[in-house]
Structure 1
Amino acid sequence: MYDVVIVGSGPAGANLARLIGDKYKVLLIDKRDLESQNPKNFANKCCGGLLAPDAQKMIAKLGLGIPKDILVDPQLFAVRAIDLTNNLERLYQRFYFNMDREKFDRWLVSIVPTGVDKKFNSFFKNFAEIPGGYEIGYIYNGQETSTKTRVIVGADGAFSKLRKFISKDINIPEKYISIQEWCESPDYIPYFTAIFDEEISDFYSWVIPKENYLLLGAALRPRENTREKYNLLKTKLTQIGFNFHNKIKTEGAYIYRPKKVSQFYVGRDGIALVGEAAGAISPSSAEGISYALKSSLYLAQSLEDGIDGFLDRYKQKVKDIKVNLLIKNLKSPAMYNPLLRQLAMKSGLQSIK
Structure 2
Amino acid sequence: MYDVVIIGAGPAGSNLARLIGKKLKVLIIDKRDMENESPGNHLSKCCGGLLAPDAQKMIAKLGLGMPKDILVDPQLFAVRTIDLTNNLERLYQRFYWNMDRDKFDKWLVSIIPPEVEKKFNAMFKSFIEIPEGYEVQYLCNGESLSVKTKILIGADGGFSKVRNLMNKEGNFPERYIAIQEWFECADKIPYFTAIFDEEITDFYSWIIPKENYLLLGSALRPKENTREKYECLKSKLINLGFNFEHKVKTESAHIYRPREVSQFYVGRGRIAFIGEAAGAISPSSAEGISYALKSSLYLAESLEKGMDGFVERYQKKVRNIKVNLFMKNLKSPAMYQPFVRKLAMKSGLQSIK
TM-score range normalised by the length of the shorter chain: over 0.9
1:216-253 CA-partner distances (Å, limit 9, x unpaired): 00000000000000000000000011111210000000
Map 1:122-161; keep pairs closer than 5 Å: 122-161=122-161
Quick one: which amino acid aligns to residue 282 of structure 1? S
Asked if 2 retains the 8 angstrom alpha-carbon contact of 1:166 and 1:268, the reply is no
Distance 1:11 1:36 in 2: 17
Distance 1:317 1:309 in 2: 13
Deviation at 1:169, TM superposition (A): 3.4
Deviation at 1:131, TM superposition (A): 1.2
Distance 1:39 1:229 in 2: 30
Deviation at 1:337, TM superposition (A): 0.3
Q: Match of 1:331?
A: 331
Instruction: Work out whether 1:198 is the aligned partner of 2:198.
Output: yes
Does 166-175 or 211-220 show the bigger shift?
166-175
Q: Match of 1:50?
A: 50
Instruction: Work out whether 1:248 is the aligned partner of 2:248.
Output: yes
Asked if 2 retains the 8 angstrom alpha-carbon contact of 1:185 and 1:243, the reply is yes
Q: TM-score with structure 1 length normalisation?
A: 0.99
1:307-336 CA-partner distances (Å, limit 9, x unpaired): 111011000000110000000000000000
1:132-182 CA-partner distances (Å, limit 9, x unpaired): 211111111221000000000000001211101112231100000000000
Q: Match of 1:322?
A: 322
Asked if 2 retains the 8 angstrom alpha-carbon contact of 1:134 and 1:151, the reply is yes
- What 5-or-longer segments of structure 1 have no aligned partner? none
Quick one: which amino acid aligns to residue 154 of structure 1? G
Map 1:15-164; keep pairs closer than 5 Å: 15-38=15-38, 40-164=40-164
Quick one: which amino acid aligns to residue 72 of structure 2? V
Q: Match of 1:215?
A: 215
Quick one: which amino acid aligns to residue 211 of structure 1? E
Deviation at 1:76, TM superposition (A): 1.6
Deviation at 1:40, TM superposition (A): 4.2
Asked if 2 retains the 8 angstrom alpha-carbon contact of 1:90 and 1:351, the reply is yes
Q: TM-score with structure 2 length normalisation?
A: 0.99
Asked if 2 retains the 8 angstrom alpha-carbon contact of 1:33 and 1:42, the reply is no
Asked if 2 retains the 8 angstrom alpha-carbon contact of 1:33 and 1:39, the reply is no
Instruction: Work out whether 1:302 is the aligned partner of 2:302.
Output: yes
Q: Match of 2:238?
A: 238
Percent identity of paired positions between Structure 1 and Structure 2: 74
Quick one: which amino acid aligns to residue 13 of structure 1? G
SS in 1 for 2:95: coil
Q: Match of 1:13?
A: 13
The CA RMSD over aligned residues, in Å, is 0.7
Does 2-11 or 180-189 show the bigger shift?
180-189
SS in 2 for 1:202: coil
SS in 2 for 1:32: coil
Deviation at 1:186, TM superposition (A): 1.3
Instruction: Work out whether 1:227 is the aligned partner of 2:227.
Output: yes
1:71-106 CA-partner distances (Å, limit 9, x unpaired): 000012010000000000000000000000000000
Deviation at 1:38, TM superposition (A): 2.0
Q: How many residues align?
A: 353
Distance 1:224 1:70 in 2: 36
